[in-house]
Chains A and B, each alone.
Chain A
């Protein structure tokens, strides 16, 4: 073939290939339009000045709409943007005034009146008042409320969890909510509920600007608005990357917040979080694992920070399975496990063990005569022999496949339990399954014979721990265990508003749950956090997240 013809053929092929490539690139980048649409920014568009505070978050929020979330990542960001009716003293579960300055129950306990703070505005300039509170509550409680955007998929599942049901449901705790005047809100509830103020102020229920919600049907999504009264204003949310917030100049608390910009950077992997903290691209972070403590302590630029324990990790024993139906057998299991050694080995300084289901910060509700089962292999062995199992028995034990704040390394911990129990003749068969299935199947009869699980409190009241695990309807994973005395005590404590009487009731509950040994508390752990030494003003809350009002660098 003559050279120039050959060349033309080659050229043609090259051009075709380039066209194909261009076509492919164009096709691949279509779908959504090549024009800049108004949806989420591309990374880098919002810049934080060098003085910005950067927090390493475990993952991105599900959304920034109060009431429509249950996950910790969403709550963490929401606590910077929103305020709540009632707040907490820094680092504690004690209630403190926030959007409400006073809250009082009526004589019969069925009406709660909240007096609101004056002079508070939302980030968009609109006034905060009783109407705003009513608007927000209706969004969560009333399925027919137009601005609940339930057609768009908002679910508000957490409301039914904490308050029985929605408006119109038989089981709904709330009967009515009304604005008495600009600064007074009244809640009418079906039955007295002493922990109501704490519950309505838990991290799920931030107060959003009614104007902003009404104007934006994509409120709370990465491309929408999120407007509250909190210390930080929502600036942008780059999906999968970060959320950027700026200081609210007109925040009602004098001199707060301390920093001009706050960035939540999403880093899922704990090893990566620690590496970034050490490299300085993060200023502070949360949810590190106990084995990272030595690394933090060895780095002069870092300091370990401990979140007050507000959780419990326990071993559940299902009495609907034969050997466990006998209380003495369950107690023997508690005696056969060397909890102090196990907790020391797996948690070090980050864990405490005792016989109480509620964590140490709820000490007013712990019965002082309850200590713990003393570790004794001999006593345990003779106890199960007496109960009719001299040769021991087989036990299915389920552990979760994911790391939890209360059980950071479930499998080795389960193996430790199995080793201990084998000493008294109990042959443990370790099992696990997918986390989602684990949570669902334990409640499907007959449930798991024994299982590891835990709980982090939603609000600072023992009801949140005890009713949710030992109350009527809460024992499905324990083979629907019934104990009328226990149920009665829990119901009474729930509606009683006298603090001294409640304490007494819960102490009785403590003694019973200890004796029954159905959910053996293994540990109350302190999640490990860390910060660079230049950071100050960070007082982690027992509730897994807190506002960063007082945090500053340098």
Chain B
């Protein structure tokens, strides 16, 4: 198992290389460049050319790529063209925000999606089933931007029950060590801060969770239906086991494999940065940061950010694969 993990981690290298090359190529294929964006309305060809010289954008492309690769190897991801802030610092600051939001959103999706899917499968074709599947369709079809704004208007503007934006209130005095606010507020014993942090997480997490929730519910239902029709389920029932145990212990665990795969993929997507949600809720995460970088042609931001997200995604997939061994003892890794 250890050797398997090691081999998989080694695979990270060619994957990340490939991604870095792709990102670099695409970035430089897009028309427009950082110099023009910086100068805005006052961009004359002369000024643009001078700025490009100074920013080192006139080096031959292969050279620029090689220097980027070189910096990757030393974990020096460079600095933003626009703000001069080192990429690694930006990632370190923004990553916990995205991670925390994604985890909470995923939890919501799992805690509601899996039971909903199980229920729908067990009560197949009943009104519960139809309700769940319709809800699932709605969830996947609702525009995230619209839903987010709707929630803000309802709960933050009209009812004023929840805050409309940010991770904490501007007036909350709270010092974070790890960047994970829930964790920090707990270990610091700051109860008020914890409430504030959670309150700020509710709306964005709900907004972000709708699509994964819908998908997970659907997949769980299909997987459960598949499993429930198997012989060994009939055996378990005829052995006299309680129905709850049949479903919960025998059926569910076996149905989990495809669900775990989907969860892994969805989680990876969420961690890639929920641009729309982050925009509406002014959430200082990775998604809006990379998106801003693309708009401004801030090459280091996009390159460093995308490579980082790819790295995380691959790791998540590795964890998902490893978890198969947990769920199904027949699966072994050598």
**Residues in B neighbouring A153, C-beta threshold 8 A:** 55, 84
What number of B residues sit within 8 Å (CB to CB) of A? 84
Task: Name the contact of B54 in the complex, choosing from A155, A267, A453 (C-beta under 8 A).
Answer: A155
B residues 73-89 touching A (CB-CB < 8 Å): 75, 82-86, 88-89
Query: How close is A215's CB to chain B, nearest CB, in angstroms?
Result: 17
Query: How close is A351's CB to chain B, nearest CB, in angstroms?
Result: 19
Indicate whether A356 reaches chain B with its CB closer than 8 angstroms: no
Do A268 and B95 touch across chains, with their CB atoms under 8 A apart?
Answer: no
Indicate whether A238 reaches chain B with its CB closer than 8 angstroms: yes
Interface-lining segment among B115-123, B213-221, B280-288 = B280-288
Query: How close is B152's CB to chain A, nearest CB, in angstroms?
Result: 5
Do B168 and A43 touch across chains, with their CB atoms under 8 A apart?
Answer: yes
Q: How far is the CA of A21 from the CA of B321 in the complex (A)?
A: 12
Q: Which residue of A lies closest to B193 (CB)?
A: A44
- Given the known inter-chain contacts A239-B93, A275-B149, A443-B44, please indicate yes or no for A43 contacting B39, CB distance below 8 A: no
Do B282 and A266 touch across chains, with their CB atoms under 8 A apart?
Answer: yes
**Residues in B neighbouring A265, C-beta threshold 8 A:** 165-166, 170, 282
Indicate whether A466 reaches chain B with its CB closer than 8 angstroms: no
Do B165 and A436 touch across chains, with their CB atoms under 8 A apart?
Answer: no
Do A434 and B32 touch across chains, with their CB atoms under 8 A apart?
Answer: yes
Indicate whether B48 reaches chain A with its CB closer than 8 angstroms: yes
Do A24 and B89 touch across chains, with their CB atoms under 8 A apart?
Answer: no
Do A48 and B42 touch across chains, with their CB atoms under 8 A apart?
Answer: no
Indicate whether B254 reaches chain A with its CB closer than 8 angstroms: no
Do B31 and A434 touch across chains, with their CB atoms under 8 A apart?
Answer: yes
**Residues in B neighbouring A28, C-beta threshold 8 A:** 95, 311-312, 315
Do A161 and B315 touch across chains, with their CB atoms under 8 A apart?
Answer: no
Do A32 and B89 touch across chains, with their CB atoms under 8 A apart?
Answer: yes
Do B31 and A281 touch across chains, with their CB atoms under 8 A apart?
Answer: no
Indicate whether A484 reaches chain B with its CB closer than 8 angstroms: no
Indicate whether A512 reaches chain B with its CB closer than 8 angstroms: no
**Residues in B neighbouring A45, C-beta threshold 8 A:** 174-176
Query: How close is A263's CB to chain B, nearest CB, in angstroms?
Result: 6
Indicate whether B265 reaches chain A with its CB closer than 8 angstroms: no
Query: How close is B265's CB to chain A, nearest CB, in angstroms?
Result: 16
Indicate whether B30 reaches chain A with its CB closer than 8 angstroms: yes
Do A279 and B157 touch across chains, with their CB atoms under 8 A apart?
Answer: yes
Interface-lining segment among A10-18, A370-378, A424-432 = A10-18
Interface-lining segment among A49-57, A119-127, A250-258, A495-503 = A49-57
Do A31 and B75 touch across chains, with their CB atoms under 8 A apart?
Answer: yes
- Given the known inter-chain contacts A221-B83, A440-B36, please indicate yes or no for A32 contacting B91, CB distance below 8 A: yes
Do A240 and B315 touch across chains, with their CB atoms under 8 A apart?
Answer: no
Indicate whether A393 reaches chain B with its CB closer than 8 angstroms: no
Do A20 and B176 touch across chains, with their CB atoms under 8 A apart?
Answer: no
**Residues in B neighbouring A241, C-beta threshold 8 A:** 166-167, 282, 284
Query: How close is A406's CB to chain B, nearest CB, in angstroms?
Result: 10
Indicate whether B187 reaches chain A with its CB closer than 8 angstroms: no
Do B279 and A157 touch across chains, with their CB atoms under 8 A apart?
Answer: no
Do A281 and B84 touch across chains, with their CB atoms under 8 A apart?
Answer: no
**Residues in A neighbouring B326, C-beta threshold 8 A:** 10, 13-14, 17
A residues 433-460 touching B (CB-CB < 8 Å): 433-437, 439-440, 443-444, 453-456
Q: Is the interface of B mostly helix, strand, loop or mixed?
A: helix
Do A476 and B45 touch across chains, with their CB atoms under 8 A apart?
Answer: yes
Interface-lining segment among A34-42, A179-187, A516-524, A528-536 = A34-42
- Given the known inter-chain contacts A160-B47, A268-B288, please indicate yes or no for A49 contacting B31, CB distance below 8 A: no
Q: Which residue of A lies closest to B5 (CB)?
A: A20
Do A43 and B315 touch across chains, with their CB atoms under 8 A apart?
Answer: no
- Given the known inter-chain contacts A44-B176, A266-B282, A281-B170, please indicate yes or no for A27 contacting B30, CB distance below 8 A: no
Interface string of B148-180 (1 = CB under 8 A from A): 010011001100100111111111111111110
Question: For this complex, into which size category does the number of interface residues on chain A fall?
Answer: 35 or more
**Residues in B neighbouring A468, C-beta threshold 8 A:** 42
**Residues in A neighbouring B171, C-beta threshold 8 A:** 47-50, 52
Do B93 and A40 touch across chains, with their CB atoms under 8 A apart?
Answer: yes
Query: How close is A13's CB to chain B, nearest CB, in angstroms?
Result: 5
Do B83 and A10 touch across chains, with their CB atoms under 8 A apart?
Answer: no
Do B83 and A63 touch across chains, with their CB atoms under 8 A apart?
Answer: yes
Q: How far is the CA of A160 from the CA of B42 in the complex (A)?
A: 11
**Residues in B neighbouring A24, C-beta threshold 8 A:** 315-316, 318-319
- Given the known inter-chain contacts A239-B83, A281-B163, A434-B30, please indicate yes or no for A47 contacting B173, CB distance below 8 A: yes
Indicate whether A387 reaches chain B with its CB closer than 8 angstroms: no
Q: Which residue of A lies closest to B185 (CB)?
A: A44
Q: How far is the CA of A456 from the CA of B40 in the complex (A)?
A: 11
Greatest chain B CB density within 10 A among A440, A473, A476 is at A440
Q: How far is the CA of A339 from the CA of B178 in the complex (A)?
A: 57
Task: Name the contact of B42 in the complex, choosing from A10, A21, A161 (C-beta under 8 A).
Answer: A161
Q: How far is the CA of A239 from the CA of B82 in the complex (A)?
A: 12
Query: How close is B138's CB to chain A, nearest CB, in angstroms?
Result: 22
B residues 6-37 touching A (CB-CB < 8 Å): 30-33, 36-37
Task: Name the contact of A443 in the complex, choosing from B31, B45, B86 (C-beta under 8 A).
Answer: B45
Indicate whether A278 reaches chain B with its CB closer than 8 angstroms: yes
Q: How far is the CA of A272 from the CA of B5 in the complex (A)?
A: 44
Query: How close is A297's CB to chain B, nearest CB, in angstroms?
Result: 16
- Given the known inter-chain contacts A157-B38, A268-B288, A275-B156, please indicate yes or no for A440 contacting B43, CB distance below 8 A: yes
Do A436 and B297 touch across chains, with their CB atoms under 8 A apart?
Answer: yes
Indicate whether B58 reaches chain A with its CB closer than 8 angstroms: no
Q: How far is the CA of A62 from the CA of B160 in the complex (A)?
A: 33
Query: How close is B267's CB to chain A, nearest CB, in angstroms?
Result: 12
Do A435 and B282 touch across chains, with their CB atoms under 8 A apart?
Answer: no
**Residues in A neighbouring B178, C-beta threshold 8 A:** 29
Indicate whether A70 reaches chain B with its CB closer than 8 angstroms: yes
Given contacts A29-B178, A437-B32, 5 further A-B contacts (CB under 8 A): A6-B329, A40-B89, A62-B83, A218-B84, A272-B164
Closest 10 CB pairs of A and B: A436-B32, A47-B173, A240-B284, A437-B31, A44-B174, A42-B176, A32-B92, A437-B32, A436-B36, A279-B164
